[in-house]
Amino acid sequence: MRTFVKTTFAALLAGAAACAHAPAPGSFKADPEPLTAEGSAAYDARDPGASRERASLDAQKSAVRRAAELFMDETAKAGNYGVLEIGLLKTPQLYTAKTRILSEGQDGASYRVRARVWVYHGKIASALRGMNLAGSGAAAVTAALAVPGQADKSFASAFKEVFARSSPIVIKDLPFSSEENGRSFIKGGSSEEAPLSGPEPRLLEAAAAAGADLLFSASASAASSGAGLSTGFYPSRSEAALKIYEVGTGRELVALSSQASAIDSSIAASFSKSLASAGELLAQAAAGRTDRLVKQAFPVRVKVLGLGGLEELEKLRAQLLRLDLKGLRLESYSDGAAVFTAVPRRSDPQEFASTVLRGDSLGLELDGAGAQEVVFSLHR
């Protein structure tokens, strides 16, 4: 039977480690603010006080983690919890001002506490940025490159290198492989691999799952263009084609093609050179066309005034994350004022502000919307 016992009074945390390491109030720009957190530890009947301290420390750790997650974008979160554990959560006392236990007691083999923990969220945000865990903020337009039916890597490598020098659009590293029997594959969660030579919807689906805005679907082939037996050199000719799709709608934006020639002392080297040349020419053409057709996503500054604390800030952030955004990062928070950087998929601040209000459950009111900033407030 659960034997969780609630206390009838609130007590300050008496852990010696917390007293020794807690920073002095006012040491940082933002005053500490409370979060209600729970913690648990193995119950030691020989030393209930030590069990209580360990559970209280676990509640501190939970509060610091939640505060840290406010300032981390979703990309920064992925795969970085180990770094967070070592960097911040190993000594949560350094980031808390005080802890007030609301309820506590034995619960089977555990000792549990529910506590109000005042965290130095300003110091936590600074620490995250120092560890490069806050995220990159504004996100660029990204593209997935798929090269069905082409095993030679020279074409794709040349295309990516030239395109990167010519366009702000980022070609992401995606789970595409083109190394087996001249076919390309999508590597998914299943044990089987699906060939990319299938219909375009499968490519669009894979690009969407990887978070890309555009799909670059390319093909390239090379063939001998003359006999090389008498001269010892082998001329070749390659042809390449590219279709660019908008991932969200599946709409074809651009169709391009290129041709190139090369000569070398071996057939393989000649083919590789001509394919690389075709990739370079195709990349130059694609960079010129996409710069005119694709509108760069610009960040919007989102300022919200009148928040009632970190727990309401958590709700606001969760609400914004439900929108169709390319990126979201909390830049600063102090005294009920939060400033986010958001990257909408459509760069119209008025439309973005309307979308925020349609999904609002907190009671936001729009105070203003400019070219690159929208301001909301909560009136109580």
What values do phi and psi take at 8, rounded to 5? -95, 5
Task: Take residue 347 and report the two structure tokens written for it.
Answer: 């760069």
The per-residue pLDDT for 63 is 96
Share of the chain above pLDDT 90, in %: 42
If you average pLDDT over residues 179-194, what whole number do you get? 36
301-359: pLDDT as tens digits: 899 999 999 999 999 999 999 998 878 889 899 999 999 988 887 667 788 899 999 99
137-178: pLDDT as tens digits: 555 678 888 886 544 688 888 999 898 888 878 887 555 444
Residue 265 zone, left/alpha/beta (φ > 0; ψ -120 to 50; rest): alpha
**Rounded CA separation 242/283 (Å):** 9
320 burial via Cβ count (<10 Å: 0-12, 13-18, 19+): buried
Beta strands in 181-324 (DSSP E): 183-186, 194-195, 214-224, 234-246, 252-264, 300-305
**Rounded CA separation 71/330 (Å):** 5
**Rounded CA separation 127/84 (Å):** 10
What residues contact residue 186 under an 8 Å CB cut-off, 6+ apart? 175, 176, 193, 194, 196, 202, 203, 206
**Rounded CA separation 116/36 (Å):** 5
41-91: pLDDT as tens digits: 999 999 999 999 999 999 999 999 999 999 987 666 666 666 677 778 889
**Rounded CA separation 323/301 (Å):** 15
What values do phi and psi take at 99, rounded to 5? -135, 130
**Rounded CA separation 257/192 (Å):** 32
- Is 80 exceeded by the pLDDT of residue 269? yes
What values do phi and psi take at 149, rounded to 5? 75, 15
**Which strands form 337-344's sheet, in the order they lie side by side?**
325-334, 337-344, 300-305, 373-378, 364-369
Task: Take residue 31 and report the two structure tokens written for it.
Answer: 């005053």
Lowest mean pLDDT among 75-79, 195-199, 256-260, 373-377: 195-199
DSSP state of 378: E
CB-based burial, 56-86: b 16+ in 10 Å, e otherwise: bbbbbbbbbbbbbbbbbbeebeeebeeebee
pTM as predicted: 0.57
The per-residue pLDDT for 347 is 63
